[in-house]
Amino acid sequence: LLESLLDQFKMNAKNFRIDKQTNIARNIARTLAVKEGSQMEEKEMKHLLEELFQCAQPARSIYGGRTWVTIDDADIDKKFNH
């Protein structure tokens, strides 16, 4: 865990112009994040969403990626019926 944090810190310091405190916070967040494909109970999912919406910028990840997308009924229909 510590090695992973240090490696990520070094990479961020090289690739991004961010202060040390932000770099450390990003590394901890990334390391402790729920990993893709993880199984979660409904209660855990609700709690995670509550925490997300308490963030200053809930629509973006720490690296600028989107944290959610909106899909309307027509898009869902296209995905499953065509």
Q: What is the pLDDT along the chain (82 residues), one digit of tens a residue?
A: 677 767 776 776 666 677 888 878 877 888 888 888 999 999 999 999 999 999 888 998 877 889 888 999 999 999 888 7
Q: How far, in Å, CA of 31 to CA of 8, rounded?
A: 9
State if pTM tops 0.85. Answer: no
Q: Which two tokens stand for residue 30?
A: 């990334």
Residues 33/61, Cβ–Cβ less than 8 Å: no
